[in-house]
Structure 1
Amino acid sequence: MTETAIHEVRPVFETPYERRGVISPGLPILPHGVERHPVPGGGSRAVQIDAGDEITVMDREGLQPVELVFFAPDGRSDAGLIGARGGHAPEGLRAALTGDPSGRRVARALDAAGFDIGRADAVRVFAEGSRAGDMASFHAAADGLLIVCAPGEPMSPEAQDTPTEVVLYIRRASPGPGKGGRAAPAPLADPLQDFNIQPGEARGYEVRKGQYIQVLDVQGRECSDFQAFSLRALDRGIEREIDPTATRSLMGSLYPAPGIYAKYYNVDFEPLVEIVQDTCGRHDTFGLACTARYYEDLGYPGHVNCSDNINADLARWRVRPRGGWPAINFFFNTMLDDANAIGMDEPWSRPGDYVLLRALTDLVCVSSACPCDVDPANGWNPTDIQVRTYAADEDFRRSIGWRPTPEADVQETKQTGFHECFARHTRDFVEYNGYWLANQMHGHGAIAEYWACREKAAIMDLSPLRKYEVTGPDAEQLLDLCVTRNMARLSTGQVVYTAMCYEHGGMIDDGTVFRLGDTNFRWIGGCDSSGLWLREQAEKRGLNAWVRSSTDQLCNVAVQGPRSRDILAGVFWTPPTQPSIEELGWFRFAIGRLGDFHGPAVVISRTGYSGELGYEVFCHPKDAAAVFDAIWAAGEPVGMVPLGLAALDMLRIEAGLIFAGYEFSDQTDPFEAGIGFTVPLKSKQVDFIGRKALEERKAHPQKALVGLDLEGGVVPSNGDCIRLGRAQVGEVTSAMRSPVLGRVIALARVDVAHAAEGTELEVGQLDGQQKRLKARVSRFPHFDPTKERVKGNYPA
């Protein structure tokens, strides 16, 4: 399998923090002296090594080869220095050094050290057949620079050789004294200022217009008060600091987030700072920094507090002291309940979480590390805060931190392969599942985009859908175990829509399965949980199957609407062994190329999320612009427009298509979510996860998804209660004002006793009793209930 022995017993380096029955997966614990360094698929990473260090590489998803190169300080590259057998040229590393952002950083490190990659003695591990979680270990006999590469070429959309992440662990031979705390992670760039604030301290600092400020929670679960003053106003003796009330009013939210609504204002409505990146996403902007009064009222007179600390340090700029400072308390987890009471809990921030701000004018800033140890504000354990500032010419992209699981490494919000194509039509992008997606097009708007899809055609970016390659001799068995549809009935070239459930019948996700061959499948769902569930079940049950993420190797646009077939027919070529666009049946896919035999490869499926005739086109991100431009050139002359999330939501509600967190969750089964047709309990004889629970739930239904027609023109919100008299009998899941139907409609989950068509109900607002919207259970779905349009049968 490899040229280096793999551990028979896999060491577990990371464990969730746990104390007396309280588990915190978001605070993973590494043994003292162990470091963790993720290496992206197709990328590389360089780490300084000391003699005696133990080096361990883990293949996270399986089937990912790894190359290691070690350079001694004198420039020698010798695999024997880490106890390995080399003798290979670093072919994968050479490609990664130029083709991946992580590789370019490694290339700079090699150049700075004067190391010649052309003379490298590479070690190869996980050459073939590695399983998810396999590890290989080495010991360093000398100091040096270690480079780890997870090589891989761009994945063709019809292939399944996706490069995936590996993890490098370093167990330091001499980790230093340490007290169990973590060191601050590396700066985002060369900092102008870089200082640590211990709990119970505050520090002021000046920042010039355009410069960046990073406030970083080093250990996790620690709050940091932040204030900023206009320096020009201070020079005139005027104090104009961030005002939380003005900011909330102008932004329409408790705290700004990266994107359009990202700024903090003073009472003169002057913007002082804007949020550029935020890896935590939960902060406080409606309370004071902790005060002496707060601790005195709790029985702790004389307790150190942030307000007094801020007063003391801001005295250098002659800022008048205050009993309590209104501040932006980053990472402070406060909330307002239904009775308007302010509550708090432990912060959501994890080790290394940060907020990156940009100064919009010259500022005096102050940051603290909150000393509170008498309530959950800092998890009863105050720790340190790191503050760094960076030059104005640094290029930091806007990003909202994304983690597929609580313990996973934070990821920046990504741009899809089609991002620049849609950016030609709008600057209105919103974060969706870790990606920036267009919301509305400046030249059209949601209503115009909607009508284009209903009457002509529209193109939309659906790249954030999660793609997983499921391969191996037991791939069909694994999917049969984990999804509700019957995989034995799925032909090569066919797609099936299905649900994935837990043992109790609650839904993990809905999605589609593509069959690419006898033992080759592709799962496309809405969230990473479904792919992780597949991999977990394969390992748990000892199945000979691999589940590898290909989301970043496959981006996809949907072309939907009555003219979609005609548009695509002239754009894509398919070989004689594959159906043409005109021949492609509903829930079938074809492998083709853009233009002709020599064009970029694509997979085209006759699927969509609009209720119209439509297709999805999958390609590698490197080919996305060419694919989009060709479709646009064919579609624009016949009325095709780009479409964003706002219009897509309207289309899917009318068509009765469900959305995670609205129509379904792990508390609802497929029957309650309105997709009971995906659970063929009679024709699928093999057992699958959740079958027993679903049989019981189907026999004794409690809730049903229905359509509602509403009077009065008011559009209810997700979660609004549905009542029959005083009793609540359901809730609204999604609602809209339908352009084509000319009325307000909704999807709702109601008690089966009141789910019959024609039943008169009321949607409760305010407290559910004081305001009612008259509603009637209607035919479902509201638009094209027999699916004639999606089949391509349009009325003359």
Structure 2
Amino acid sequence: MTVKPVFETPYERAGVITPGLPILPHGTERHPIPGGGSRAVPIYRGDEISVLDFQGLQPGEMVFFTPDGKSDPGRLGASSHGRPDGVLSVLDNGSVSGRRVASALDRAGFKLGDAQCIKIFADGSRAGEMATFHADSDGLLIVAAPGGPMDPGTQAPPTDLILYIRRADPGIAKGGHMPPDPLADPIHDINIQPGQAKSYHVQKGQFIQVLDVQGRECSDFQAFSLRSLDKGLDREIDPTTTRSLMGSLYPQPGIFAKYWNVDQEPLVEIVQDTCGRHDTFGLACTARYYEDLGYPGHVNCSDNMNRDLEQYGIRPRAGWPAINFFFNTMLDETNALGMDDPWSRPGDYVLLRALTDLVCVSTACPCDVDEANGWNPTDIQVRTYSETNSFSRSVGYRKSAEAPLEHTKETGFHNCFAKHTRDFVEYNGYWLPNSFPSVGTIGEYWACREKAAIMDLSPLRKYEVTGPDAEELIQYCVTRNVKKLAVGQLVYTAICYEHGGMIDDGTLFRMGENSFRWIGGNDTSGLWIREQAEKLGLNAWVRNSTDQLHNVAVQGPLSRDILKEIIWTAPANPTLEELGMFRFTPARLNDFDGTAVVVGRAGYSGELGYEIFCHPKDAEEVFDTIWTVGEPMGLKPLGLAALDMIRIEAGLIFAGSEFDDQTDPFEAGIGFTVPLKSKNDDFIGRAALEERKAHPHRKMVGLELEGGRVASPGDCVRIGKAQVGEVTSAVKSPILGKNIALARVDVTHAEPGTDIEVGQLDGLQKRLKAKVVPYPHFDPTKERVKGNYA
């Protein structure tokens, strides 16, 4: 085993770096194996096989079958390690990848129970370690990353392995030029070359997948009601009607996903969208567009669509309005329409469902004179699928620009909250409840303030930091003094870049002497910690456990009374009633034999509250147990809309609002997380933060606004004509009966009592009178968080 760099490198040409288009060496394939999952891949004689343990400490197992069905590790130059128990366990755990591998084995007639396995990374591995083998025979390779559900009190999550195959014959490699496998058995499977348009019939309920094969390629799409065409009427998707009815510039998967014609008949809805960045409903490219640029006669999508739609008696247009999938257009501050390279990656797609019988047309845009297709027109694949298929709604999510695509997930608690609402929104790769109509956002708010509320916080990112150098690593990466943190204690802290700008805020749990759990708002912070471990050569591992730990928060004055009825702790650990502020404990539901959970006393509400962590498989039991006790006491579910009201009142910050990578913790209002005097050790950003604290420019303040108008995030804050800051968050506070806001302003105007104005429209024509006030606006001494005792 040797440590090698990852195969992929960002695409770069003439000083332009595009990490969204990673380049593999010619003839090399990449196959991710999910933690607790498996993969089956055909192998040919002479192929080089490499398996990467990206995060470290993840054991792997491989089985190689020759064409006659024999299992022979020697064909890969390896020795047998006996029965493939790890592979068998993965195939039996009900995972999607396991079912696919089992199906491949059944088709080939191979028997896994009689096979011999090759174990890799069995003795522990560093992040980035790689095992390499060479095949001297054709065959079928099974690779598994064994691992079961992680107990919330432990720190051994199953993590991904990555399989690379360098083909002896590069011509058979599946590169970026081949479309990915269909989502199901397709009805139509049409490849559209650039400069072409293809039409096709779709029946009500069927699905349409428009797929960008190479990436950075636009595809114009239009759909016509077949019922209207039979009457001699052209009734296609209409941009103005769609925008007006959806209240959105561009529909997205979820509630506001439909496209309509001028008769207000819904034609299609978006089910899945892996790109998330498309057009502003401009025209498909036209002859005039190219003529005005000096390219008369240039092939264009509108003329292509006219020719292909003529067979249906559809009248031609000089320019077709269309859904311009993957076309990256935008409006600037003067409302001028502009464009840039598309955001789509190889294999990105949009999946739609027909809401009536349709005639559809799709194009592969031929534009090669600007950024519309990244200067390089390529092919589009269109597939349609039967209405008998079931596809979950999802929005593409990536942990970083280079990371593989992930579909929007449902948390372990999703079904529990779905009993109370259908209003879910995408948040950081998960569907989270936004509101509960039977209670109402205000009702949810008052439940949290007066009794108790339960909310789903599972999308918070969890990373397990372990190893002999774990404390040294964390001490260097976070702003708090970790050496003062006791086992069983948690602390709120910031993570910064060298220039002092914030990467993330979050809570750090000290699980043991050399083990921590980082819980933050984004993956960037976890990946950053892992990067520092590798850069410094520290003996520490940073592994993602987000999918192994889902959590709800129970917040409000009655939260302790509810949870004390159901939380059991061992004699060596504090009881729920004894659990102090910013402490956590391993626990169980009800008694010694109950389901394992971890309970922390913390929250995001400004109220007494707790967070309960469990494995997703146990989430429904955890929720139901809490709900059974809590509902008679007034417990209500709480969504994101009410949570935003609560956290603004309590002065709690939110990424993208109160802070970003240009904002330091002092400017974000959490300077208390940077103990420059009591933390003597160096940490990332220390020098910059010392300078910023000594010479501050901006400060977070509270505002009270006169009248009934609520400010909007991003509104300018002015003294006279000069802008001196901006509003970061605002709300009409139910408990205070005031319009309040958080704002970041120049320090010269940050004193409480300063009269300022919040500008709207152009910032000058409309002003909201306001005054700088201390914050948090609500319970500034945190008495409610302390409850009856700290």
Paired letter, 2:547: D
Alignment counterpart, residue 518 of structure 1, candidates 513, 518, 534: 513
* 1:362 alignment counterpart: 357
C-alpha deviation, 1:90, in angstroms = 1.3
Q: What's the TM-score once normalised by structure 2's chain length?
A: 0.99
* 2:655 alignment counterpart: 660
Paired letter, 1:115: F
Alignment counterpart, residue 427 of structure 2, candidates 418, 432, 437: 432
* 2:124 alignment counterpart: 129
CA distance in 1, matches of 2:23, 2:256: 36
CA distance in 2, matches of 1:202, 1:241: 16
* 2:323 alignment counterpart: 328
* 2:404 alignment counterpart: 409
Say if 2:278 is the partner of 1:283.
yes
Alignment counterpart, residue 580 of structure 2, candidates 566, 585, 596: 585
Say if 2:354 is the partner of 1:382.
no
Say if 2:459 is the partner of 1:464.
yes
Q: Is the 8 A contact 1:285 1:327 kept in 2?
A: no
Paired letter, 2:77: G
Q: Is the 8 A contact 2:441 2:641 kept in 1?
A: yes
1:446-457 superposed matches below 5 A: 446-457=441-452
Alignment counterpart, residue 42 of structure 1, candidates 36, 46, 49: 36
1:58-457 superposed matches below 5 A: 58-99=52-93, 100-176=95-171, 181-457=176-452
CA distance in 2, matches of 1:351, 1:756: 52
C-alpha deviation, 1:174, in angstroms = 1.1
* 1:635 alignment counterpart: 630
Partner of 2:19: helix, strand, or coil? strand
Say if 2:12 is the partner of 1:25.
no
* 1:724 alignment counterpart: 719
Paired letter, 1:589: F
CA distance in 2, matches of 1:703, 1:357: 46
Partner of 1:750: helix, strand, or coil? strand
C-alpha deviation, 1:461, in angstroms = 0.3
**What does the per-residue CA deviation read over 1:609-644, in whole Å, with 9 as the maximum and x for residues that have no partner?**
000000000000011011100000010001000000
Partner of 1:381: helix, strand, or coil? coil
CA distance in 1, matches of 2:546, 2:263: 45
Partner of 1:533: helix, strand, or coil? helix
Q: Is the 8 A contact 1:788 1:794 kept in 2?
A: no
C-alpha deviation, 1:87, in angstroms = 3.0
Q: Is the 8 A contact 1:229 1:242 kept in 2?
A: yes
* 1:3 alignment counterpart: none
**What does the per-residue CA deviation read over 1:229-249, in whole Å, with 9 as the maximum and x for residues that have no partner?**
111211221111101111111
CA separation of 1:782 and 1:793: change in aligned 2, threshold 3 A:
farther
C-alpha deviation, 1:178, in angstroms = 8.8
CA distance in 2, matches of 1:337, 1:378: 20
**What does the per-residue CA deviation read over 1:409-462, in whole Å, with 9 as the maximum and x for residues that have no partner?**
110000000000000000000000000000001211110000000000000000
Partner of 1:718: helix, strand, or coil? coil
Partner of 1:275: helix, strand, or coil? strand
C-alpha deviation, 1:179, in angstroms = 12
Paired letter, 1:495: L
Percentage of matched positions with identical amino acids = 73
Paired letter, 2:752: E
CA distance in 2, matches of 1:596, 1:105: 39
Partner of 1:458: helix, strand, or coil? strand
CA distance in 1, matches of 2:6, 2:356: 48
Q: Is the 8 A contact 1:211 1:358 kept in 2?
A: yes
- Number of residue equivalences: 789
Q: Is the 8 A contact 2:421 2:436 kept in 1?
A: yes
CA separation of 1:600 and 1:794: change in aligned 2, threshold 3 A:
closer
C-alpha deviation, 1:12, in angstroms = 3.7
CA distance in 2, matches of 1:60, 1:316: 54
Say which is worse superposed, 447-456 or 103-112, in terms of deviation.
Answer: 103-112
* 2:767 alignment counterpart: 772
Paired letter, 2:453: A
C-alpha deviation, 1:204, in angstroms = 0.4
* 1:611 alignment counterpart: 606
Say if 2:65 is the partner of 1:55.
no
Name stretches of at least 5 consecutive residues in structure 2 with no aligned partner: none
CA distance in 2, matches of 1:262, 1:177: 39
CA distance in 2, matches of 1:695, 1:112: 65
**What does the per-residue CA deviation read over 1:306-340, in whole Å, with 9 as the maximum and x for residues that have no partner?**
00000111112121111100000000000111111
CA distance in 2, matches of 1:707, 1:119: 69
Partner of 2:714: helix, strand, or coil? coil
C-alpha deviation, 1:794, in angstroms = 9.3
Partner of 2:645: helix, strand, or coil? helix
CA distance in 2, matches of 1:794, 1:38: 49
CA distance in 2, matches of 1:195, 1:50: 29
CA distance in 2, matches of 1:524, 1:573: 24
Paired letter, 1:237: G
Q: Is the 8 A contact 1:347 1:378 kept in 2?
A: yes
Alignment counterpart, residue 644 of structure 2, candidates 649, 672, 696: 649
**What does the per-residue CA deviation read over 1:147-206, in whole Å, with 9 as the maximum and x for residues that have no partner?**
110000100000001000110111111121899852111111111111110111110011
Say if 2:786 is the partner of 1:791.
yes
Say which is worse superposed, 119-128 or 527-536, in terms of deviation.
Answer: 119-128
CA distance in 1, matches of 2:259, 2:711: 31
CA distance in 2, matches of 1:179, 1:517: 45
CA separation of 1:541 and 1:178: change in aligned 2, threshold 3 A:
closer
**What does the per-residue CA deviation read over 1:93-143, in whole Å, with 9 as the maximum and x for residues that have no partner?**
111112122111111111121111101111100012211111111111111
CA distance in 2, matches of 1:177, 1:426: 49
Q: Is the 8 A contact 2:462 2:544 kept in 1?
A: yes
Q: Is the 8 A contact 1:88 1:124 kept in 2?
A: no
* 2:2 alignment counterpart: 7
Paired letter, 2:599: I
CA distance in 2, matches of 1:761, 1:93: 66
Alignment counterpart, residue 576 of structure 1, candidates 534, 559, 571: 571
CA distance in 1, matches of 2:442, 2:492: 28
CA distance in 1, matches of 2:91, 2:203: 35
Q: What's the TM-score once normalised by structure 1's chain length?
A: 0.98
Paired letter, 1:439: N
Partner of 1:176: helix, strand, or coil? helix
